[in-house]
């Protein structure tokens, strides 16, 4: 049974039967690949006792991705594995192309540079100048597209080179799947850092590829863990698709959660999102800003996308009853 509820401040969706859905497990060799990288180390799982008390949760943790393989976001996990797999199939001089709201493009550009390849990154014109300069600092060519993230994806797909995109569509599925596989290392780290399975994991969502990785981790086995996705209310493409029962494209507006400013869920992620999420919620700019401030006060320096899970948990906390252990995934550090 699906439940959809709206209030003045947020929209939410729930699917009580999600924990009974099953999918195939991710390949096991990805974690070993990451462990061999020179800069690899597990990111911290930090306890937040004051916020746990506020939310009446036994234990609240944040998986802090503010420093991952030398970059300020988790995206390097997916980009490193996908670039590795691409270059197993394409030797010689190649250009890696991608579209981004910031962190994914920088990660692809970094991995291309480390492997001695060129990168061409397309960004929508809403991406902050400092994010564009960070991509250029990786020796990547950057093209600013007069349009949305979806427009940038379309331009990148048409460009000369090999597209390394974290969004899939019919006919473009293999490389997005490799990116999702790369993200799974984060979930294995959480398993090792906790003494018991969490009751709830809260995931920020853009096109849904990272959520696909988390869903795969928990829904490929018997697990009591519930999964909540969080999006900006100005770009809630996954939530609107869940409500409609099919993948939808929606108009998006400006948001401080730039990495979540996406108008269309990934086609390859959609079966996982539509079957494996227990709940979804959208949040306002003010709710996100407050969450970011509160995390900073606990010495967790999340950026807006990374703080979104705390805001989403606050918005929908009453839906979950008693919670012994909750994990928030903070996907990026402070800009």
Catalytic residues: 75, 101
Which residue's entry shows tokens 């004051």?
Answer: 50
Residues 6+ apart with CB under 8 A from 41: none
Between the CA atoms of 301, 133, 117 and 99, what dihedral angle is there, to the nearest 10 degrees? 80
Give the largest CA-CA distance in the chain: 56
Among positive and negative, which fits the CA dihedral 195, 197, 202, 204?
positive
Contact (Cβ atoms closer than 8 angstroms) between residue 129 and residue 101: no
The 10 Å Cβ neighbour count of residue 297 is 10
* Type and span of the H or E element at 45: strand 45-47
């Amino acid at each position: 049974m699906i439940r959809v509820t709206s209030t003045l401040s947020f929209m939410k969706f729930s699917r009580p039967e999600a924990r009974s859905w099953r999918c195939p497990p991710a390949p096991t060799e990805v974690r070993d690949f990451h462990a061999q990288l020179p800069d690899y180390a597990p990111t911290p799982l930090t306890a937040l006792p004051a916020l746990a008390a506020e939310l009446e949760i036994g234990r609240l943790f944040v998986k802090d991705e503010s420093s991952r393989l030398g970059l300020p976001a988790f995206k390097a996990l997916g980009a490193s594995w996908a670039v590795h797999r691409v270059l197993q199939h394409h030797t010689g001089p190649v250009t890696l192309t991608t579209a981004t709201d910031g962190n994914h493009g920088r990660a692809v550009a970094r991995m291309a540079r480390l492997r001695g390849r060129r990168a061409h990154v397309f960004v929508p014109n809403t991406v902050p100048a400092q994010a564009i300069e960070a991509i250029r600092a990786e020796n990547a060519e950057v093209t600013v597209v007069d349009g949305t993230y979806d427009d940038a994806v379309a331009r990148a797909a048409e460009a000369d080179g090999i597209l390394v995109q974290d969004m899939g569509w019919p006919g473009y599925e293999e490389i997005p799947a490799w990116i999702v596989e790369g993200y799974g290392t984060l979930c294995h780290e959480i398993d090792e850092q906790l003494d018991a399975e969490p009751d709830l994991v809260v995931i920020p969502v853009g096109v849904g590829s990272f959520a696909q990785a988390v869903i795969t981790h928990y829904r490929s086995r018997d697990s009591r863990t519930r999964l909540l996705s969080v999006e900006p209310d100005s770009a809630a493409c996954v939530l609107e698709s869940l409500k409609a029962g099919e993948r939808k494209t929606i108009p998006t507006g400006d948001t401080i959660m730039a990495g979540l400013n996406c108008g269309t869920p990934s086609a390859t992620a959609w079966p996982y999102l539509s079957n494996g999420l227990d709940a979804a919620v959208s949040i306002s700019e003010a709710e996100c800003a407050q969450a970011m401030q509160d995390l900073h006060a606990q010495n967790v320096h999340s950026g807006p996308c990374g703080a979104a899970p705390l805001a989403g948990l606050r918005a929908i906390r009453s839906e979950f009853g008693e919670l012994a252990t909750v994990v928030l995934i903070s996907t990026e550090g402070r800009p």
